[in-house]
Amino acid sequence: MNTSMQKTEQFSIVDLFSGCGGLALGFQTAGFQIMGGIEMDQSASTTASYNLYWKKGIDHEHFCGDITESSSDILEVAPGSSPVVIGGPPCQAYSRAGRAKLNSLGEDRSFHLDSRGKLYEDFLRFALELDAPAVIMENVPESVNYNGENIPHTVCEFLEENQYEAVWTVLNSADYGVPQIRERVIVMAVKRGFGEIANLPAPTHNRHSDYRTQYEARFPGFKESRFFREPNKPEKDAPGWVTVGDALSDLPPLFTDPDQPYSLTKLNVRLPYNHEPQNDFQRRMRSVADKVSGHAFRRTLRDFRIFNDMAPGDNYLNAIEIANVHFKRALRERRVTEKGQPEEYRRIKKEFVPPYSADKFIGKWRRLDPAKPSHTVVAHLGTDTYSHIHPWEPRGISVREAARLQSFPDDFIFNCSMSDAFKQIGNAVPPLMSEAIAKAMLTNLNAVKEVAR
């Protein structure tokens, strides 16, 4: 007799290079159990452990240590267990920003000499040691050309040689309900006998326009790799991309006047929402939260007046023009000239005008447009928030607003410094996109098969 049977076993995951836990959170939401994880940064490891285990009453934690000096034994995986291995090896050696920083430090620090460019090898080593039934690796699109090498292709080739079916693709988080255009390479692999890569993540949102992202234009060239698959297209009637305004409008106002005194709100302070949730995204972010924490922003006194006059989408060139208008007005009001009072002139200029080069900083400042998704949230937020200026208040975004733009729910807590929180958020995989990846992988592992009896 022929019967249709479906695997229903609960799959577990091991989370490598976990950061603060964005990738693991999406898998956990999709039904995977977290068996363990590794993260080198203590603050990020603590954030992940608190949100993935401790606040749920689970007596467990992510291991904090160097994966290159460790084996899978440190995860204390139960004998006979074969967890799915997920993770995002560090991207600094691949990304444009990381390469530029390394190259600026001298020839001996060039990006192609950065050992972090080979950390995917330790990721794969753990996957084989754990006999993982499936593997998911995330990284920046620039990894397709690391000193002439296509890293996703190399990873897929290695996995294929070790009995996996493997593919790689480029996903845009905005297609999965994240209020941010963020393109990332995703490698998905299933070990032979456990399933097949029949499904890529299903988009939930549509751009409803002819807009093309930076890496979509490169899809034809990516097809030179036999492992590359184009991502799925969203349904035509799917809701439109979630915008910055959709994402942030219910959060409490913090700073409405550039001349009001700055007040630091500690990250553990819980504030009431501005109003009831207005859309599905806000309802999803507030599913169990009645108040919101982590709503603190940076003290940038010189620039609040500039931010106030910037229009949505304005960059540093616009900011400099605005600053010079303020500067010249102050000179007239104080009756100061460069020739007459040179020292006072220089002091006032420092008070009003940012000192950065317009040639190098064009894209470093940008005011968010409330009618569009955000541009990519980056780890540099840990240093400053000029790249993401609030769309209607004269300030940089808060920690909670950055978390919203990455789709972290409001009950995801950052028990750390503001700088660490911004860095962790910028380095993370958006949980909503991760959840879509997890659901696709769960379908691939639980494929319905006809079994003859």
pLDDT above 60 (res 111):
no
Report whether 170 contacts 141 (CB < 8 A).
yes
Q: At 58, which CATH number? A: 3.40.50.150
354 & 230 share domain: no
Report whether 213 contacts 315 (CB < 8 A).
no
* Residue 154, both tokens: 């190399």
- pLDDT tens sequence across 347-387: 999 999 999 888 877 888 999 999 999 999 999 999 999 99
CA distances in angstroms from 386 to 52, 350, 390, 398, listed in the order given? 30, 18, 9, 12
Q: What is the pLDDT of residue 70?
A: 85
- Mean pLDDT of the 442-451 span: 66
Q: Which amino acid, residue 191?
A: K
384 & 309 share domain: yes
* Residue 244, both tokens: 């910055």
Please name the residue that has the structure tokens 């950390």: 119
Please name the residue that has the structure tokens 């911004």: 422
Q: Which amino acid, residue 193?
A: G
Between 174 and 357, the more confident residue is 174
- The DSSP bridge pattern shows strands 164-172 and 183-191 to be antiparallel
Between 319 and 289, the more confident residue is 319
Nearest to 41 by CA among 64, 61, 59, 58: 64
- Mean pLDDT of the 140-146 span: 93
182 & 70 share domain: yes
- pLDDT tens sequence across 246-294: 999 999 999 999 999 999 999 999 999 999 999 999 999 998 878 999 9
392 & 439 share domain: no
222 & 235 share domain: yes
Work out the widest C-alpha separation in the chain, in whole angstroms.
100
Report whether 393 contacts 372 (CB < 8 A).
no
For residue 307, give the H/E element and its range: helix 304-309
175 & 290 share domain: no
390 & 442 share domain: no
Report whether 119 contacts 126 (CB < 8 A).
no
pLDDT above 90 (res 107):
no
88 & 133 share domain: yes
Backbone angles phi, psi at 277, to 5 degrees: -60, 140
- The DSSP bridge pattern shows strands 449-452 and 2-5 to be antiparallel
282 & 157 share domain: no
Q: What is the pLDDT of residue 77?
A: 82
Residues annotated as catalytic (active site), given as ranges = 91
Nearest to 50 by CA among 37, 31, 32, 40: 37
The percent of residues above 70 in pLDDT, for the chain, comes to 91
- The DSSP bridge pattern shows strands 2-5 and 164-172 to be unpaired
167 & 253 share domain: no
**Cβ contacts of residue 75 below 8 Å, gap of 6+?**
14, 35, 36, 37, 38, 63, 130
- pLDDT tens sequence across 149-171: 999 999 999 999 999 999 999 99
pLDDT confidence tier of residue 104, bands split at 50, 70 and 90? very low
Q: What is the pLDDT of residue 208?
A: 85
Nearest to 239 by CA among 284, 184, 280, 200: 280
Q: What is the pLDDT of residue 91?
A: 61
CA–CA distance, 177 with 109 (Å, rounded to integer) = 38
pLDDT above 60 (res 139):
yes
CA–CA distance, 402 with 377 (Å, rounded to integer) = 7
Report whether 109 contacts 99 (CB < 8 A).
no
CA–CA distance, 410 with 158 (Å, rounded to integer) = 39
* Residue 163, both tokens: 């009995």
Domain span at residue 260 reads 244-427
pLDDT above 50 (res 4):
no
Compute the Cα dihedral for 186, 192, 198, 199 and give only its sign.
Answer: negative
Backbone angles phi, psi at 167, to 5 degrees: -140, 160
Alpha helix positions (H), 130-229: 151-161, 219-222
Number of structural domains found in the chain: 2
Please name the residue that has the structure tokens 């989408």: 313
- Mean pLDDT of the 5-11 span: 53
Residue 61, Cβ neighbours under 10 Å: how many?
A: 16
Q: At 343, which CATH number? A: 3.90.120.10
- The DSSP bridge pattern shows strands 12-16 and 33-39 to be parallel
CA–CA distance, 338 with 420 (Å, rounded to integer) = 42
Q: Give the SS3 label for residue 103.
A: helix
Report whether 31 contacts 10 (CB < 8 A).
yes
pLDDT above 50 (res 102):
no
Nearest to 85 by CA among 64, 59, 67, 66: 67
Q: What is the pLDDT of residue 96?
A: 52
Radius of gyration of the chain (CA): 24
- Mean pLDDT of the 304-325 span: 97
Provide the 8-state DSSP code for 404.
H
**Cβ contacts of residue 329 below 8 Å, gap of 6+?**
none
pLDDT above 70 (res 115):
no
pLDDT confidence tier of residue 450, bands split at 50, 70 and 90? very low
The percent of residues above 90 in pLDDT, for the chain, comes to 81
As a residue count, the chain comes to: 453
423 & 446 share domain: no
Residue 172, Cβ neighbours under 10 Å: how many?
A: 23
Q: Which amino acid, residue 131?
A: D
17 & 164 share domain: yes
* Residue 177, both tokens: 């309900």
